[in-house]
Structures are given as structure tokens and as C-alpha cells.
Amino acid sequence: MTEPQTRTATSDDLDTVLAFWKTAAEGTSISDDREGVERLVGRDPEALILAEQDGELVGTVIAGFDGWRCHLYRLAVHPGRRRQGIGSALLAAAEERFVRLGGRRGDAMVLVRNETAHHAWRAAGYEPQEQWRRWVKPFTD
């Protein structure tokens, strides 16, 4: 098995990514549809980073930068490929992107109940900030 290779997603990858998230991602998002991901890639073509191994999609991360903050979403690794350095490769690619763009600190959206992810994020050097809460308001039904 070869080392995972990271690259930026293209519009041709989006259906594969959406199917992958149904298997590998924890939870769902209101934006987990073709239109939502097309909008992401259209606005920020380098934000969706993929990891491939032997020609197969094995991981994703969204590395969004709004000019002020660096946000990480959808770090997902295929369940059968976890603990093989794929998540680390994705985070390294995301962090390199952030530094190149002038980012100073990354934050990640991690579900409270996802203990497996908590261990992975801690191992990557991230820490929870208990004093903050995420506040949301859907704009569509």
C-alpha cells in the first residue's frame, strides 16, 4: 500500500465525496448535498482537500479560510483506513494552505459525542475551548 497523496478536489469529485461522507463522516450537515459542495468549491477552489491511496478516496478535509480565521470541517477517513496517517496527511495539507494564506490559528468543528475524533484532534495538537459554544440558525427548512 502506498502513502496517501493529497490534492484539491475538482467538480468531477463531488459525487464521490458526498457518497464517501455517508460512510466515513460523523454526522450530517445541511450543506451535505451537491449544491452545497459545488458552492464551496466554486467560492474557494482549494478548500476541499482529498486523500487518495492506490487510486481510492480514503479521506477528506475542508480547510476554509475567510481571510481572518482558519476553519476545519469534514475531516473524515475511511473506517477501514484509520490510524494509518491519512488524517495527519490531510491536516498537514490544510495547515500548509492556511500558513500560505497568512492564517494564524486553525479551529475545528468536532461533535461532542465523537470521542474517537477527540483523540485524533488532540494527537494533532488541537485542544477544545470549553468557554465557546457554537450558535446556529438555519436559513432554509
Evaluate if residue 31 carries a pLDDT over 90. no
Q: Which residues, in sequence order, are CB contacts of 58 under 8 Å at separation 6+?
A: 4, 51, 52, 77, 78, 81, 86
Instruction: Give the pLDDT band of residue 44 (cuts 50, 70, 90).
Output: very high
Among the listed residues 128, 9, 121, 29, the one whose alpha carbon sits nearest the alpha carbon of residue 21: 29
* 80-127 tens-digit pLDDT: 999 999 999 999 999 999 999 999 999 998 888 988 889 999 999 999
CA distances from 18 to 5, 63, 69, 87 (A): 19, 16, 25, 18
Instruction: Give the pLDDT band of residue 138 (cuts 50, 70, 90).
Output: confident
